[in-house]
A and B are shown apart, each in its own frame.
Chain A
Amino acid sequence: GAVVSQHPSRVICKSGTSVKIECRSLDFQATTMFWYRQFPKKSLMLMATSNEGSKATYEQGVEKDKFLINHASLTLSTLTVTSAHPEDSSFYICSARDAGTGGSQPQHFGDGTRLSIL
């Protein structure tokens, strides 16, 4: 089945550090990937839609300069949390859809990245 790999699974770093999270589709190509943020016992909040070869589409209220998204290839999207602060601590999850399915097939999710900013 389709596999999405997300790395790293956990990051602990100091305030002011920039952190990059990778999302890879291992056995399929993904023109679109999604980035989510999740607080404890809460739902997933869609942050942005990552489009291969073009700019990401950010949800209302999400800072573009804070959360940089790059989707340079059909199998890789990255989310960089710039100058992270404790309030950015959260669980970040990516998902991808197989480009060859015409959008009729489900999303496949990575296992998430738990980011802790000290």
Chain B
Amino acid sequence: SQQGEEDPQALSIQEGENATMNCSYKTSINNLQWYRQNSGRGLVHLILIRSNEREKHSGRLRVTLDTSKKSSSLLITASRAADTASYFCAPIIDMRFGAGTRLTVKP
């Protein structure tokens, strides 16, 4: 069964807007990670957040983690057309992915 489940499944925004994606997982975790996949390519690691962290930043990325709700969110600020991709989350202990969020950023 899939561990990470992303929401929404698809998101379309204009360049410059912020994009927020959510992720829910089923089991207890130690770390949660977010990945990005461009069409026809492998996954690229974006950010890892540990279970004792509530928020983490990396450039235009902001990730939050709520272990009580078993959920995480990824915020991309000031989006660019190059951010167009699919985004996935997964607990590090169990590398099963959900359907992902397909983000389209229109120029």
Contacts and interface: CB of A to CB of B under 8 A. Distances in A.
Interface of A: 4, 6, 34, 41-44, 46, 91, 93, 95, 103-112, 114
Given A43-B88, A103-B92, A108 B45 contact: yes
Interface of B: 2, 30-31, 33, 35, 40-45, 48, 88, 92-93, 95-100, 102
A112 B40 CA distance: 8
Nearest to A114: B40
B95 A104 contact: no
A46 B41 contact: no
Given A43-B100, A93-B42, A114-B40, A107 B88 contact: no
Contact of B99 (A42, A107, A109, A114): A42
A107 B45 contact: yes
Contacts of B96: 46
B30 A43 contact: no
Nearest to A59: B96
Given A41-B102, A104-B31, A46 B44 contact: no
A43 B5 CA distance: 10
B99 A106 contact: no
Contacts of A91: 40
A109 B44 contact: yes
B37 to A, nearest CB: 8
Nearest to B34: A106
A110 B95 contact: no
B51 to A, nearest CB: 11
A43 B98 contact: yes
